[in-house]
Homo-oligomer: A and B are copies of this chain.
Amino acid sequence: MVVTIKDVARAVNVSVTTVSRVLNNKPDVSEETKKKVKEAIRTLGYNPNNIARGLVLRKTNTIGLIIPDINNPFFPEIVKGIERKAKEEGYSLILYNTDNNKEEEKEALALLRSKKVDGIILSFSLENKEILKKLEKEEYPVVQIDRQIRDSLYPAVTIDNKRSAYNATEYLIKQGHKEIGHITGDLSTETALERLKGFKMALEKYGIPLREEWILEGDYSRGSGKELMERIIKLKHRPTAIFFANDLMAFGAYETIYNYNYRIPEDFSIIGHDNIEITSFVKPGLTTMDQPKYQLGAIAVEKLINLIEKKNDFHSVILENELIIRDSVKAIR
């Protein structure tokens, strides 16, 4: 049988209130009883039932996390930042993986709510923006991470994706490329949309014509990078450089390129996005836009806790990110 607060009260011959008081370090309890209670707690091996406590306090000290794909190396680092910070602040983490499925997103949300998590950090696709609107009305604490839905008032913790894509593309241009393609992310995410915009902006800025057949929609998966790269290789007229909306797709492209016996960067210059760890130990090293992943996670937790504590901090935060130059882009004249 599991030991409850009653058992320890009985053991020491005090009321449960008193035990509760020492449990929560409240004042107004004599040193002596405090000592006795603590003793009993230890000998009985009492472990407080946080779920009962949660019921009365309306606080579970748990936050929910909904992410698209824990298998995409971009996310584990974010998760780590979230987990670490959350633990530090006394929160546990309930994790849901949606596989980019809109229905799963909804379900996860409902589940998390019925578990009465104190707040939720999520990375949603645009299709579920209505749901966020509803949550807003209830003032349910939510912070968006990586993927922002702009219609929502909920704060987001992201980088400036448009600018980041602009910088990536500009780098290609400054290396002398004039024929540049872009494999986008899943265009039902704001992130992919923004990166596409940034890409186009850069082309326009430098007066480089945009060719629709060089802009292909991927879904952030390695497989889609692989496939789409094949489409590009089969084109009669091919770009000399390609900006991939994430590193994983870029690696998919590596495979295809090698399969066709082409070389990087001699035949195709490749630039990625996210700077996931493996970019550095692939050959050639992938030039990419870094993202402060761990920080993204940690800051999201801070923002969420502010919301939970009614500090009404609805400002989004945009973190700086920089270009990491490695060896996958060739300078041409």
0/1 string, A268-292, CB within 8 A of B gives 1: 0000000001100111000000000
Number of copies: 2
Interface presence of A194 (CB below 8 A)? no
Q: Quick one: closest B residue to A87, CB to CB? A: B96
A294's nearest neighbour on chain B, judged by CB, is B71
On chain B, the residues within 8 Å of A112 by CB distance are 92
Query: What chain B residues lie within 8 Å of A83 (beta carbons)?
Result: 70, 95-97
Q: How many chain A residues touch the partner (CB < 8 A)?
A: 45
Tell me if B47 and A114 are in contact (CB < 8 A). Answer: yes
Verify B47–A51 contact, CB threshold 8 A: no
Majority secondary structure of chain A interface residues (helix, strand, loop or mixed)? helix
Residues of B within 8 A of A84 (CB): 97
Contacts of A92 in B (CB 8 A): 94, 96, 111-112, 115
- A146–chain B nearest beta-carbon distance, Å: 16
Chain A residues 38 to 56 lying within 8 A of chain B, measured CB to CB, are: 47-52, 54-55
Interface 1/0 per residue, A68-79 and B, CB below 8 Å: 001101011101
Closest chain B residue, CB of each to CB of A52: B55
Please tell me if A36 contacts chain B, counting CB pairs below 8 Å: no
Say yes or no for A179: interface residue by CB 8 A criterion: no
Q: Is A161 an interface residue (CB 8 A)?
A: no
Nearest chain B CB to A274 CB, angstrom units? 14
Residues in B whose Cβ lies below 8 Å from that of A60: 51
In the assembled complex, how far is the CB of residue A135 from the closest CB belonging to chain B, in whole angstroms?
Answer: 11
Evaluate contact between A94 and B62: CB separation under 8 angstroms. Answer: yes
Q: How far is the CA of A51 from the CA of B278 in the complex (A)?
A: 41
In the complex, A197 has a CB within 8 A of chain B = no
A94 and B112 alpha carbons, distance in the complex (Å): 11
Q: Is the CB of B97 within 8 A of A51?
A: no
Chain A window 102-136, contacts with chain B (Cβ cutoff 8 Å), 1 for yes, 0 for no: 00000000111111100000000000000000000
Contacts of A87 in B (CB 8 A): 96
A166 interfacial by beta-carbon distance below 8 Å? no
Interface centre among A48, A73, A77 (most CB of B within 10 A): A73
Q: Does A154 contact B (CB under 8 A)?
A: no
Complex CA distance for A267 and B318, rounded to whole angstroms? 46
Contacts of A282 in B (CB 8 A): 278, 281-283
Interface check A244, CB cutoff 8 A: no
Residue in chain B with minimal CB distance to A280: B255
A87-B96, A94-B92 given; A71·B80 CB < 8 A: yes
Q: What is the minimal beta-carbon distance from A255 to any residue of chain B, in angstroms? A: 6
| Set B55, B94, B110, B278: member contacting A278, Cβ < 8 A | B278
Give residues in A with beta carbon < 8 Å to B. Answer: 2, 47-52, 54-55, 60, 62, 70-71, 73, 75-77, 79-80, 83-84, 87, 92-97, 110-116, 138, 222, 251, 254-255, 277-278, 281-283
Q: Can you list 27 residue pairs at the A/B interface with Cβ under 8 Å? A: A2-B138, A47-B114, A48-B114, A49-B55, A49-B114, A49-B116, A50-B114, A51-B115, A52-B55, A55-B55, A62-B94, A70-B76, A70-B83, A71-B77, A76-B76, A79-B95, A80-B97, A83-B96, A87-B96, A93-B94, A93-B95, A93-B96, A94-B94, A94-B95, A251-B278, A281-B282, A283-B283
